[in-house]
Structure 1
Amino acid sequence: MTRLQRTRTPDGRRLEVSHVLSVPAADAWEVLVDTARWPEWSPLVNGVESTDRRIRTGTTGRVRVSGVWVPFRITDCSDYRWSWRISRVPVASHRVDDLREGRCRIAFELPLHAVGSVPVCLRALERLEELLVAEE
């Protein structure tokens, strides 16, 4: 089930794009925090160089988007949720909700001005589901 809604988050009002998957939350989380896996599921990220392969608060690096390298910094990574800035601009936060019984919800929390990113997030959620189901 895919959902699009406005919500309040620790980062303020956001547009949330989410999808329920039949995979354990821990498995989804591991794919989201592994920088080497970002190009597998993100339609925009073509490369990653990072201080940490598994992100944490304070991880820095750069991502290649459309052939251009841009710097990023993880501003928060805790409780199955992480936020970041690309070129010092707050962008989508990523969250995994444990729904128990081997199910979870992956959510991207977008700043309201980033409504144009919804189709990209929907494609990322599809790719995540394909990856995670194939690994089961």
Structure 2
Amino acid sequence: MTTHREIAETPDGRRLIVSRQIDAAPDRVWDLFIDTQQWPRWGPSITAVECRDRRISQGTTGRIRTVGGLRVSFVVTACADHRWTWRVAGIPATGHRVERVDEGCRAAFEIPLLAAPYAAVCRRALRNLDALATTS
């Protein structure tokens, strides 16, 4: 499967949307998105997560450790209807969403336009999510 890119309006304004159709149930992919223990498995830039909550909800806070070893705080700003957003180091970061399509779902990242180069990382994350959702 290939990834799709477009600029679209989101609840957080215009964003670059990077998405991929995945042949798995939407709830399976959603669970991977909200399970903090899974983030290092699919997120290429995350090596560890420090968080009291295994599954996030609005208001969840914690810290991620990046590939470079940097520890950065986060807060989940919204989490409902198979879509969640967060602020990382106080800066609005990617949105995450899952939509039902055909026999599976479409997973998507909503990237602030100023962070458009991050799309390459999101494409890799989508490939990782696809592999996790369809093999485990």
TM-score interval, normalised by the smaller of the two chains: over 0.9
The structural deviation recorded for 1:133 is 1.1
In 2, Cα distance between equivalents of 1:76 and 1:134: 29
Matching residue within 83, 99, 102 for 2:101: 99
SS at match of 2:84: strand
Q: CA RMSD of the aligned region, Å?
A: 0.8
In 1, Cα distance between equivalents of 2:59 and 2:52: 9
In 2, Cα distance between equivalents of 1:47 and 1:2: 26
Partner of 1:76: 78
1:1-136 aligned at under 5 Å gives the runs 1-65=2-66, 66-101=68-103, 103-135=104-136
Match for 2:51: what amino acid? S
Structure 1 spans left out of the alignment, 5+ residues: none
Post-superposition Cα deviations, 1:45-69, rounded to whole Å, max 9, x if no partner, equal: 0000112110000000000012011
Post-superposition Cα deviations, 1:67-121, rounded to whole Å, max 9, x if no partner, equal: 01100000000000000000110000000001153x0000000000011101100
In 2, Cα distance between equivalents of 1:22 and 1:124: 16
In 2, Cα distance between equivalents of 1:2 and 1:126: 9
Match for 2:47: what amino acid? N
In 2, Cα distance between equivalents of 1:92 and 1:17: 10
Identity of aligned residues (%): 44
In 1, Cα distance between equivalents of 2:22 and 2:36: 21
TM-score, normalising length: structure 1: 0.96
Query: Residues 33 and 54 of structure 1 are in contact (CA less than 8 Å); yes or no, is this contact kept in structure 2?
Result: yes
Query: Residues 41 and 124 of structure 1 are in contact (CA less than 8 Å); yes or no, is this contact kept in structure 2?
Result: yes
In 2, Cα distance between equivalents of 1:90 and 1:21: 26
In 1, Cα distance between equivalents of 2:51 and 2:113: 27
